[in-house]
Each structure stands twice: as C-alpha cells, then as structure tokens.
Amino acid sequence: MLVEIVSDYEAMSERAAEIVTHQIRKKPDSVIGFATGSTPLGLYQRLAQNHQARGLDFSKITTFNLDEYVGLPPSHNQSYHYFMWTNLFDHINVDPSKVHIPQGMADDIDDFCQWYERRIEQAGGLDLQILGIGANGHIAFNEPGSSLGSRTRIKTLTEETTQNNARFFDDPDEVPRYAITMGVGTIMAAKTVLLLSSGESKANAIRATLEGPITAMVPATIVQLHQRAYVIIDEAAASKLEYRHHHGIIEPKQQNP
C-alpha cells in the first residue's frame, strides 16, 4: 500500500488524474471501475480536459461503476447514471456499449448482481478501481459490518448514510434506502485500487483505514491487504494519522502504477 499525502483537494485530483491517465495510455483497453460523489469530481474534470486538450483516448476502455440506488431511474438527477454521464462520460469519447452502471430499476436485483459479476469477469477483470471513502469507513455502499469477501449485491443503507444523502432530495421520503453495490471482494479483485480522500471530515476514517486493525466494521481497512493499493489524501484528511511522518509526497513519475 502506497500512501501519498498532498496539499489539498486540487493536488489530490491532479495526482489521481496522472495515475488514471497513465493507466489508459499504458493499456488503451483498460477496464476501469468508477466511483461517484464529490471526491472524484476534480479527477473527472481533469480526465475530460486530458481528452479534449491532450487527446487522451477513452474509446477502447470498459467501465464498471461501483454502485447505484435501487428504485431510481437512470434519468433521475440523483441517480449515478446521471452523475457519470453529466460529470464525465458526456465529455469524453467513451463507447456507450462498454459503459456498465448497476441497474437500480432491474426487475430481479439478485439476477442482475450475478450478471454484473459475470460481466466484470468476461471483461478480464478490473485493471483499476477508483474509490472514495465514507466518514464511517464505507467503500462503495459496503457499510460497516459488510462481509470482507462480499460480491455485488443489494445493501440496506445505514441511517447515517440516508441522512447524509437527504440534502440532495426535495422530500426526505424520496431518499433511497437500498443500493446495488460491488462487494468488498469484488473491489479487492481489481489489479490496482486507487483510494482518494479529502477534508477533515474524513480524517477519522483515514486513520482507521491506514493505521487501524482490518475489520468489517471499517470496510476500507481491507485495502491494507491489497498488493497494489494507492491511497492519495490531502493534509486535512491526513491530520489525525499517528504515523504521519511515514507518509509523504512521492515523485509521480517514479510511482505510477
């Protein structure tokens, strides 16, 4: 596990963009797992810029998103379909037939989850999985207590998560209580994992993830066991690390995956 501490959100986003860009240039048909939320927005803006200004080619990549709310149609402005197309896919030359986002309106959720796992396998597995982290240490929608060997499935969201999400909905009753999510085991099967975190609100989760015991109560701690885990965090997110001096900025050209 390589941890890089950078100055702020912009530096985190820039460093993450270097890693993802390097992956695509190295392997143009990469299979990449994408995340949603505010954390990767800066990364996605830079990837779009790299395509538009520098010719970064996304036409051969295959994408798989981490999760999606159950019960929201793709057109809903809070669905992760909407998020990904609005914030990234509409701005790059991705092949829509190679974009995979969980179907929250699937008639049979269990069957869909099994299909999603098979489709990842058929694509050759994830070359790079981008992750954020929740304040309670969740990754994707694998809430505390999730099995560390879990695969894509439906999950009940915690009250903390639904309360955090309520600000995005006009009516609290509209906030989804369930989501389809890649499992912890699915994420760990990726060849490379890139976990991003910014801000003091994530400092406790980052300390637990990097310095605490591996536990299902903090699902992100599993990245300690990944052979190619890159953790890029800013100073605020790193502010509660006990062994802060062990981590630092590494020269990007020497450490791209």
Find the catalytic residue in 138, 142, 165, 226. 138
Q: Is 51 among the residues known to form the active site?
A: no
Given 87, 136, 142, 165, which residue is catalytic? 136
10 Å Cβ neighbour count for 106?
17
Q: How far is CA 172 from CA 109, 156, 168, 186, in A?
A: 24, 16, 9, 31
SS3 state of residue 180: strand
Read off the amino acid at residue 158: T
Annotated catalytic residue: which of 18, 117, 127, 143?
143
Active-site residue identified among 4, 67, 127, 234: 67
CB contact set of 38 (below 8 Å; sequence gap of 6+): none
Nearest to 12 by CA among 252, 253, 257: 252
Is 117 marked active-site? Answer: no
143 is catalytic: yes
How far apart are the C-alpha atoms of 99 and 110, rounded to whole Å? 20
Sequence-separated (6 or more) residues with CB below 8 Å from residue 178:
69, 70, 71, 154, 155, 156, 157
Residue 247 annotated in active site: no
Per DSSP, 215 falls in state: B
Strand partners, 233: 5, 197
Catalytic residue numbers? 67, 136, 138, 143
